[in-house]
């Protein structure tokens, strides 16, 4: 789940409502989202104090406060939208990929596979290689799909503008 989607879904919730698991997990693992939510909650508390009348308020201070809050919201939203994938998440993907690649040749030496080889003989080789190949293909597609912007930046690719002629 991307940071912008997590933030949007978090603030769509009622504050007494329990967090969905995927949002709670993302907030727990993503420091930038955790810090942003903390700052936004602090701002919400300030707004609730201001609206209760505990702070004497003039029209100018309210306008200045609104401008300050809106500026922070816009700058935080722009930061989230343009934020590259965190390097630690990329590192986890790479470590997982290395483990999968290293496990491929070792899979044929497991007891289960040796037992199946004893029963099925050589007819197990093709299905096993097919399943392992599909595992690597799906993992690669998920990795590329979730890091497309970072890969494009790394390869110095620019998005091409496609113009369609209207008939």
Same domain, yes or no: 70 and 91: no
- Domain extent, residue 21, equals 3-82
Residue bearing the bigger pLDDT, 100 or 17 = 100
pLDDT (tens digit per residue) in 56-107: 555 556 777 778 777 777 776 655 555 554 566 777 888 888 998 888 888 8
Residue 159 included in any domain: no
Cα separation, 140 vs 132, in Å, equals: 12
Minimal CA–CA distance to 68: which of 98, 89, 46? Answer: 46
* Residue 134 confidence (pLDDT): 92
Q: Please say if the pLDDT value at position 159 is more than 70.
A: no
In the predicted model, what is the mean pLDDT of residues 3-15?
81
- Domain tally, the chain: 2
Q: List, as one string, the DSSP characters of 19-66.
A: PPHHHHHHHHH-HHHHHHHHHHHHHHHHHHHHHTT-S---HHHHHHHH
Q: Please say if the pLDDT value at position 2 is more than 70.
A: yes
Q: What percent of the chain has pLDDT over 70?
A: 72
Return the residue matching tokens 């936004």.
Answer: 40
Q: Please say if the pLDDT value at position 23 is more than 80.
A: yes
Q: Please say if the pLDDT value at position 39 is more than 60.
A: yes
Tally of CB atoms within 10 A around 128: 16
Same domain, yes or no: 129 and 64: no
Q: Please say if the pLDDT value at position 166 is more than 50.
A: no
pLDDT (tens digit per residue) in 111-155: 888 888 888 877 777 888 888 889 999 998 888 888 777 777 778
Same domain, yes or no: 20 and 65: yes
- Estimate the crossing angle of helix 3-12 against helix 21-29, to 10 degrees: 130
**CB-CB contact of 32 with 80 (8 Å):** yes
Cα separation, 3 vs 115, in Å, equals: 46
Same domain, yes or no: 100 and 49: no
Same domain, yes or no: 43 and 77: yes
Cα separation, 129 vs 145, in Å, equals: 24
Residue 161 included in any domain: no
- Phi and psi at residue 157, to the nearest 5°: -90, 145
């Amino acid at each position: 789940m991307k940071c912008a989607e997590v933030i949007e879904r978090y603030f769509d919730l009622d504050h007494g409502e329990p967090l969905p698991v995927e949002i709670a997990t993302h907030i727990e693992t993503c420091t930038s989202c955790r810090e942003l939510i903390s700052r936004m909650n602090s701002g919400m508390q300030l707004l609730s104090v201001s609206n209760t009348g505990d702070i004497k308020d003039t029209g100018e201070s309210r306008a200045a406060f609104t401008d300050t809050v809106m500026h922070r919201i816009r700058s935080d939203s722009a930061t989230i939208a343009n934020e590259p994938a965190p390097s630690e998440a990329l590192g986890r993907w790479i470590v997982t990929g290395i483990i999968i690649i290293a496990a491929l040749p070792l899979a044929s030496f497991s007891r289960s596979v040796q037992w199946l080889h004893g029963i099925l003989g050589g007819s197990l080789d093709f299905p096993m290689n097919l399943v392992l190949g599909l595992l690597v293909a799906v993992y690669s597609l998920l990795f590329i799909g979730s890091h497309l912007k970072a890969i494009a930046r790394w390869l110095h690719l620019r998005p091409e503008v496609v113009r369609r002629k209207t008939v």
